Amino acid sequence: MAHAHGDVTPQPVDVSTLKPLGEKLLGVNPYRGDKEAVKEAIKVGEVGYAKNCARCHGLHAVSGGVSPELRTLDSDKETDQYFLDITLHGRTRNGKVYMPGFQGVMGQEAIWAIRSYIEAQPKN
């Protein structure tokens, strides 16, 4: 069991309503810019976020100050790659797990859906 400051065990996300993205990891959110796909991605991402992220990063991505404020992340290629890397591999410092990795539990469809949900949240 992976432990973060919220003791979250990564949960799978149902992505059956999303188009499969394939095995090769994409470095950019493929749902951004596709009006129809992003609507469904936001719905899937909302559930995935609630199951896996809200405990530490706050409801509707509004951080309580302990974890990074995800709503302020830029919507660009560099930040997409950073988000993908951190989500897959987690964050450990001095042997302490601050965020569990989701590799093997969550595929890129779920990760990009969660990213889409976060991007859809008001910034303030």
Give the tens place of pLDDT for each residue, 45-99: 999 999 999 998 999 989 887 788 899 888 888 899 999 999 999 999 999 988 9
What does the pLDDT read at residue 4? Answer: 43
HEC string of 70-117 equals HHHCCCCHHHHHHHHHHHHHCEEECCEEEECCCCCCCCHHHHHHHHHH
The answer to which of 1-10, 15-24, 81-90 has the lowest mean pLDDT is: 1-10
Q: Which residues form the domain of 53?
A: 35-119
pLDDT at 1 over 60: no
User: How far is residue 109 from each of residues 4, 53, 67, 106, measured CA to CA in Å?
Assistant: 23, 16, 23, 8
Residue 16 falls within a domain, yes or no? no
The secondary structure of residue 19, as a DSSP letter, is P
Residue 14 falls within a domain, yes or no? no
Three-state SS at 39: helix
Q: What is the pTM of this model?
A: 0.89
The answer to which of 3-17, 88-102, 107-121 has the lowest mean pLDDT is: 3-17
What does the pLDDT read at residue 7? Answer: 58
Dump strand ranges (E) for the chain. Answer: 91-93, 96-99
Residue 124 falls within a domain, yes or no? no
Number of structural domains the chain divides into: 1
Residue 74 falls within a domain, yes or no? yes
CATH code, 40: 1.10.760.10
pLDDT at 40 over 90: yes
Asked if 113 and 42 count as a contact pair (C-beta separation under 8 A), the reply is: yes
